[in-house]
Structure 1
């Protein structure tokens, strides 16, 4: 309703909301049909608001002001400051190239692929159409050599101070720091709380990683798009994104093993996807660490150009099928919204 009612009111052209890319393609087909005057083709009606629009006066009565609650007072969260600090297998960075598809293919989240990326909603369609097409794509990726999976990762000494995570150099001085948002209510969580505070006199460890499945698969998706092969384009693009995520999850599991905290890993892959293990992997741009400019600090520490990954002026990773992450070992680490 925000798109099709509110924005539609202020924009002179057509405005429509699509739940996913496939619906977007259907809308574009209808729009082009209308523009070309194809008989019987029309755009779907605008979606209507199901609840009254909330206004400043309706929130507090016709005559009253719209009040915004002030943040609760408080300091640091209640996250434990004495969790054991694991010993990393090395300090600094390592590069791993030529990772075979069979090593991380089992980490592919098929639910996210079929339902989220490919728009397949029912089990029958997934089994009769989606799964055979997935097998075909994986065979093609392997046969055509479209995957160039690689990782650069590392372990760095660190401490926390307030909302900051401070990365230390070999002499204990500050190398760089990340400043994370803190919840204004509730537990007042902040990523910095998962590390030993500076005043403790102890040093903690943080993991950083950048993974990529390479540029060839992106070049193939671009070729399909240019050839108007939109279904194949959408399928391969969605698969490439999920394969990059699968590689990131696979490597996170490797990191947990190297840190000696993998004993609690669940036996099933479903449990892995529900993050039922110790620690957490936070990608830049998500609620707990939303500042994309921090990617420049990770790039400075890891030098991902060694695996063909570069940072744009807008702090986007290229190739697109790449992800970065801050890996935290603390047993209380979890995903949260920092607002």
Structure 2
């Protein structure tokens, strides 16, 4: 790749194997890529092991969940050798060239060190400047909902509904193409990017190639779409938890979902939100509901391997990119059907795809591991609730990543006041409370939520 020999060890590779291979192959650089939050802790662990084993070679950090701040604050301090964050794949060659050049290396690393020192100083100042409310105060400022004037809507059908071999042609119109171009490191909004002065010509060719492959995928049934939704009786309890019941008597609890609450101080009139706010409290006597879903696109890995064997990397990447887009489109289409048919809390909704992308619909579908629900471990509760692996073939890894990668899962909330939000920084009081509610020790919970900690945990 670009005249560099790259040894690809795959995904979810233990630190010991990475470093053992690095020694055996006498590599010049180690590169780590992280897609979900737990990967960040593993990267810090690799850095510590490189220090312990007296490595000197550069460590490159990249991937969707990584950042310059996290690399400077959480990874670089553990390793005396060079640690460099690479913003995207297109920068990798330039960074590697600088690190392996006898003329450029010293100046490049000096610049990186100065930059990271500044990032750490700024980060420390920002952390000390954020005021977190005590959990009790944050809860007192929860989302105010007048449940009497907007009572919950009962679904037309509760329980699980399974969708096998969902028609791909029905999903194609729901594709959001903007993230597709981002996959190819082309920044710009679709369809404007097609007429952009700088990138328009290249973007148009890419888009036409994607359309051609998408038609072949649909006509040849190269991919299989599998999905499951579940709608359940539920009420919020203990301020921040959601009890899910086996049936309408609500006498037996199926599972308890746990939400986290914003703790940063808000301006007057703005609430400290938690997802539990959007489900009617048990003490209200109102019968509310919650939903869950998981969707997946199968066949992309096999197709990509076929193209790779033919040395057609472009088509291999294209196949995976289209699978990702179809998975998101599947999530969009099922959510629309939930709103209009299954839960039917917005049966008269008439929105075009642009409006769906702008999330102008009633209700939300937050996913574990994302800003409103940053705890990946809640994914296990969701998967058990709707039997996602059985119905969709999606498995959860030890770090709660979904496999195959072209998969989406999350919860459904129907209330008109339900909003997407970012939980943000968490105080130790909430972390202790959350760990107790989930019956998990604090240190483990801190590892899962490390990007959200508003304090320094004990080593």
Which bin holds the TM-score, normalised by the shorter protein? 0.7 to 0.9
Q: Does 1:151 align with 2:151?
A: no
**Deviation of residue 118 (structure 1)?**
1.6
Task: Give the SS at the match of 1:282.
Answer: coil
**Deviation of residue 266 (structure 1)?**
5.4
Within 5 Å, give how 1:179-218 maps onto structure 2. Answer: 179-184=258-263, 185-186=265-266, 187-214=271-298, 216-218=299-301
Distance 1:57 1:3 in 2: 10
**Residues 168 and 174, structure 1, Cα contact 8 Å, conserved in 2:** yes
**Residues 284 and 291, structure 1, Cα contact 8 Å, conserved in 2:** yes
**Deviation of residue 113 (structure 1)?**
0.8
Q: Of residues 88, 93, 96 in structure 2, which corresponds to 1:31?
A: 96
Distance 2:356 2:386 in 1: 26
Instruction: Tell me the equivalent position of 1:19.
Output: 87
Distance 2:364 2:416 in 1: 9
Distance 2:123 2:357 in 1: 44
**Deviation of residue 220 (structure 1)?**
2.3
**Residues 154 and 288, structure 2, Cα contact 8 Å, conserved in 1:** no
Unaligned runs of 5+ in 2: 1-67, 188-192, 425-459
Q: Of residues 225, 240, 244 in structure 2, which corresponds to 1:167?
A: 244
Within 5 Å, give how 1:72-151 maps onto structure 2. Answer: 73-74=137-138, 75=140, 76-82=142-148, 83-114=150-181, 116-121=182-187, 122=193, 123=196, 124-125=200-201, 127-151=203-227
Deviations, residues 160-192 of structure 1 (Å, cap 9, x unaligned): 011001101124122111110011133111100
CA change 1:53–1:165 in 2 (3 A) is: same
**Residues 117 and 235, structure 1, Cα contact 8 Å, conserved in 2:** no
Q: Of residues 333, 336, 339 in structure 2, which corresponds to 1:250?
A: 333
Distance 1:272 1:56 in 2: 38
**Residues 283 and 325, structure 1, Cα contact 8 Å, conserved in 2:** yes
**Deviation of residue 87 (structure 1)?**
2.2
**Residues 117 and 239, structure 1, Cα contact 8 Å, conserved in 2:** no
Deviations, residues 36-87 of structure 1 (Å, cap 9, x unaligned): x9xx999995567499546389959xxxxx5663416242322343423222
Distance 2:117 2:323 in 1: 38
Instruction: Tell me the equivalent position of 1:63.
Output: none
Deviations, residues 308-337 of structure 1 (Å, cap 9, x unaligned): 222223222222211111011011111101
CA RMSD, 1 decimal: 3.4
Higher relative contact order (CA 8 A, sep 6+): 1
Instruction: Tell me the equivalent position of 1:325.
Output: 410
Within 5 Å, give how 1:158-307 maps onto structure 2. Answer: 158-161=234-237, 162-170=239-247, 171-172=249-250, 173-184=252-263, 185-186=265-266, 187-214=271-298, 216-224=299-307, 229-258=312-341, 259-262=343-346, 265=349, 267-304=351-388, 305-307=390-392
**Deviation of residue 246 (structure 1)?**
0.9
Normalising by structure 1, we get a TM-score of 0.83
**Residues 340 and 349, structure 2, Cα contact 8 Å, conserved in 1:** no
CA change 1:233–1:41 in 2 (3 A) is: farther
Question: How many positions carry a matched residue from both structures?
Answer: 327
**Deviation of residue 135 (structure 1)?**
1.1
Deviations, residues 241-268 of structure 1 (Å, cap 9, x unaligned): 1211111011100100022333574533
Instruction: Tell me the equivalent position of 2:15.
Output: none
